[in-house]
Copies of this chain bind each other. A is one copy, B any other.
Amino acid sequence: MATTPPGKIYLHEQLADFVRGLIEDGTFRPGDRVPSLRGIAGRFSVSLATATRAYEALEQRGWIEARPQSGFYVRTPHALDLEPPARGETPGYPERVDVQGLTRGLIAHDDAGEAVTLSLALPADELIPSKGLGRAISRAVRREPALAARYTFPPGLEQLRRRIAGQAVDAGCRVHPDDVLVTTGCSEALTIALSAVARPGEVVAVESPTFFKILTMIEALGMRALELPTDPIDGVDVAALERAFASGTAQAALLIPSFNNPLGSCMPESQRAAVADLAARYRVPVIEDDIYGDLYFGERRPPLLRAFDTSGWVLTASSFSKTIAPGYRIGWLLPGRFYERALHHQHAYTLGTSAVTQMGMTDFLASRSFPHHLRGLRRTYRGQVERMRYAIARAFPGGTRVSRPSGGFVLWVELPGDVDGTTIYQAALAEGIRVAPGTLFSTGKAYDGYIRISCGGLWNDVLDDAIHRLGRIVAGALPNDGPGEPSHHRAPLETQ
């Protein structure tokens, strides 16, 4: 522990050393916010200029980083910053999907809720503005009880559609309220979108890996999936997508351009423009799942694919399940040129989501707490993702690789050696820790050596302990001659 500095003038180097000491001690960990410039200048009676110089020095040396309008945060030390996973192998031909059994088991287990759940991408209860939402819904039913009890036929409540259209400005789009279909979560939005653009037996191009629910949906609708090579940083391989379109192999695509789940990849704008162009040129519909789009860590929200679409071949699906509350089941679809068909399918399938929750959500979106909530949520998830990466780097054996997402709240972990993700899933389950085995995220075997870890839960000692135990489980599963050293040069905490 560093000694408390006396309350006199420090040169900026001394101040920098002091803060670095706190980081080395683990008082401030990666993802934590360090004291503000004004705060530290005041505490140590230095000028703001000195404090600024100190933090600049720390920033240059890679200890902290500035985040606009938010302050300075501890960075993951370079030595502990694991490499992102390698690209998975894709078979290059469409596959029948058959992952429902496994995913069902996963959710069934997690529903029980007596263990440490790192398996599902769920926001922690503490991150859901449930009281504000409760008040909004009570207000709405008191004000308009009859409206709340009536059918709200597709496309859904006009006031809510206006709010959703308004939000799209942030994502670089001009959306008319009449372009919006309110759905039962992003899940129904994707189901309707797939039903509107493809038929049973047809082939949908997806990223590899991709969210397991997308695969179960494709399976449930009797379609096939074509997995495309996907870069852990930049997302889907556009040339591969073009080949799938040009050859007529794929009749549609379903991508997660912003913070692919599980990979965390985010497509650069130029690639988005190229994909939107392919869709229009080959007249092949591209569905984008933007459920994590608002949870960006950088300065600016990534634009929608749709922002580059001029002819309606891009469909956008999203929801408030990750940003506000999953239990309200409010999502939306911007079906582009497939509007009429999407509307037909929603009429046929569910007749739309409940009037009550549409009204409550509209009220909540109109409240002043919403933008504030969203800003806080981004900061929190960014911090949690960093803490989790750091904890994994300390706890897991050498050779482990972890994704470096710039948004969302899941991590994609490539296990060292030939350790099997499903083995780890089962061993962890026996210890009351739930992770998602990588095999779920593909129709093939490319990700059997992976697990996905969700950072939706608030960081605490139980989580910290779970990651250390998980690291031991992985180490124990390594073959004896395999890489056994921890992935960093300091002894993991739990070996004491």
Contacts and interface: CB of A to CB of B under 8 A. Distances in A.
A184 B146 contact: no
A201 B219 CA distance: 16
Contacts of A325: 149-150
Interface in A72-115: 100, 103-104, 107, 111
Interface stretch (A1-9, A35-43, A339-347): A339-347
A141 interface: yes
A145 B150 contact: no
A146 B130 contact: yes
Contact of A344 (B100, B146, B149, B350): B100
Interface in A168-221: 184-185, 187-188, 191, 195, 199-201, 213, 216-217, 219-221
Interface string A314-350: 0000000100011111000000000000011101111
A148 B329 contact: no
A437 B354 CA distance: 28
Given A151-B327, A216-B344, A187 B142 contact: no
A104 B134 contact: no
Contacts of A128: 146, 149-150
Contacts of A103: 347
Nearest to A216: B348
B149 A328 contact: yes
A351 interface: yes
A31 interface: no
Interface stretch (A52-60, A248-256, A355-363): A355-363
A262 to B, nearest CB: 18
B130 A220 contact: no
Contact of A357 (B125, B145, B354): B354
Contact of A188 (B149, B343, B350): B350
B352 A329 contact: yes
The secondary structure that dominates the A interface is helix
Given A327-B355, A344-B104, A356-B357, A188 B349 contact: yes
A25 B341 CA distance: 53
A490 interface: no
A348 B220 contact: yes
B150 A326 contact: yes
A350 B348 contact: no
Given A104-B343, A125-B150, A150-B327, A187 B145 contact: no
A380 interface: no
A133 B104 contact: no
A307 interface: no
A453 interface: no
B125 A134 contact: no
A446 interface: no
A138 interface: yes
Interface in A128-154: 128-131, 133-134, 137-138, 141-142, 145-153
Nearest to A186: B351
A356 B130 contact: no
A122 interface: yes
A356 B328 contact: yes
A74 B399 CA distance: 85
Nearest to A348: B220
Contacts of A191: 348-350
Nearest to A101: B344
A143 B326 CA distance: 18
Nearest to A150: B327
Given A130-B146, A142-B134, A145-B134, A350 B347 contact: no
B356 A360 contact: yes
Given A353-B354, A354-B329, A145 B131 contact: yes
Given A137-B137, A326-B151, A217 B357 contact: no
Contacts of A141: 133-134, 137-138
A482 interface: no
A268 interface: no
A222 interface: yes
A31 to B, nearest CB: 25
Given A107-B347, A137-B138, A219-B348, 12 more contacts: A100-B347, A100-B348, A130-B149, A133-B148, A149-B327, A150-B326, A213-B348, A216-B348, A222-B222, A328-B354, A356-B360, A357-B357
